[in-house]
Amino acid sequence: MSYNPYKQGGYGAMSQGQGDMGNQAGGGANNNWNTNIQMPFAQDMGGTQPNIPPYIRSPYYPTAPFYSTDPNVGYQTRFYSTGIVFNTDYTAANAEVIRRVQFDIPCRLIAVNGAAIPITYNTAPAGSPNLADISGVDPRDLFLFRMEYTTGDQITTAARLGSNVLGTNEGNQGELGGVGYTINAGGSLVIGLTPLFLNLRIDITLVCLEMRGPSNFTRG
């Protein structure tokens, strides 16, 4: 039997639950096609196995979230943020500080940006970065960054220098790629920041696309 996305309740199908896919919710088998999660080989692209759903090629960047065609669903951008400041949130270098960002509205995480700058004091403490010494160094390399979802799903599997995973809002966004990362209402992100020096201010901004419907928006 050939793969028919319209019959199986896939993209473009009429809204009737999941159609023939309904028994998948409990892990039941669906014999209409063979599920394949591996990337196809060249010989798989010629239609030699019609019972396997076809693959499509789509750019990974820029991030392209899904938009609903339901007129009752609206979208808006929101910049969530967190960060740490020396002497207020941390007093020792090379020690991770945890920050949690809560989300009350379902959204897609599109990009993560970060920045750091030494705080100016009349007498900077020992271990502070010298502005002359770090000239030309990416400010995001003054700290380590990691992030995981409220379920423990690690978006970054280990703490790494900020410039490896974070972008800036100057046109080089730290996009997640694909369709972004799904965040449910009530979910949260746990962000670990490890300052490598004293006397820093570190800011993290989460670029999110909020999804609003009749139950979570007010007409203005």
Assess whether 6 and 45 both reside in one domain. Answer: yes
CATH number reported for the structural domain that contains residue 129 in this entry: 2.60.120
Query: Which of 47-51, 196-200, 212-216 reaches the highest mean pLDDT?
Result: 196-200
pLDDT digits over 109-149, tens only? 999 999 999 887 656 677 677 666 677 789 999 999 999 99
- 197 domain residue, yes or no: yes
Assess whether 189 and 85 both reside in one domain. Answer: yes
Backbone φ and ψ for 44, nearest 5 degrees, come out as -85, -10
Assess whether 16 and 46 both reside in one domain. Answer: yes
The token pair at 29 is 């088998």
Q: Mean pLDDT in the chain?
A: 79
Number of structural domains the chain divides into: 2
How wide is the angle at C-alpha 175 spanned by C-alphas 171 and 179, nearest 5°?
A: 130
Q: Mapped to the 3 state alphabet, what secondary structure does 54-99 carry?
A: CCCCCCCCCCCCCCCCCCCCEEEEEEEEEEEEECCCECCCCCCEEE
Assess whether 109 and 165 both reside in one domain. Answer: yes
Q: Report how far residue 219's alpha carbon sits from residue 3's, in angstroms, rounded to the nearest whole number.
A: 43
Q: Does residue 80 contact residue 103 with C-beta atoms inside 8 Å? A: yes
- 68 domain residue, yes or no: no
| Segment among 29-33, 43-47, 58-62, 212-216 with least mean pLDDT | 29-33
Q: Report how far residue 118's alpha carbon sits from residue 120's, in angstroms, rounded to the nearest whole number.
A: 6
pLDDT of 12 reads 41
pLDDT of 63 reads 92
Q: Which helix (H) or strand (E) holds 204?
A: strand 200-212
pLDDT of 136 reads 79
- 218 domain residue, yes or no: no
Boundaries of domain holding 38: 1-57
pLDDT digits over 59-107, tens only? 899 999 988 888 888 899 999 999 999 989 999 999 999 999 999 889 9
Assess whether 199 and 102 both reside in one domain. Answer: yes
Assess whether 94 and 192 both reside in one domain. Answer: yes
Q: Closest Cα partner for 143 from 201, 189, 88? A: 201
- The CA-atom distances, in angstroms, between 109 and each of 175, 178, 187 are 9, 11, 12
pLDDT greater than 90 at residue 37 = no
What's the pLDDT band for 38 if we cut at 50, 70, 90? confident
- 88 domain residue, yes or no: yes
Global pTM reads 0.75
Q: Report how far residue 1's alpha carbon sits from residue 50's, in angstroms, rounded to the nearest whole number.
A: 7
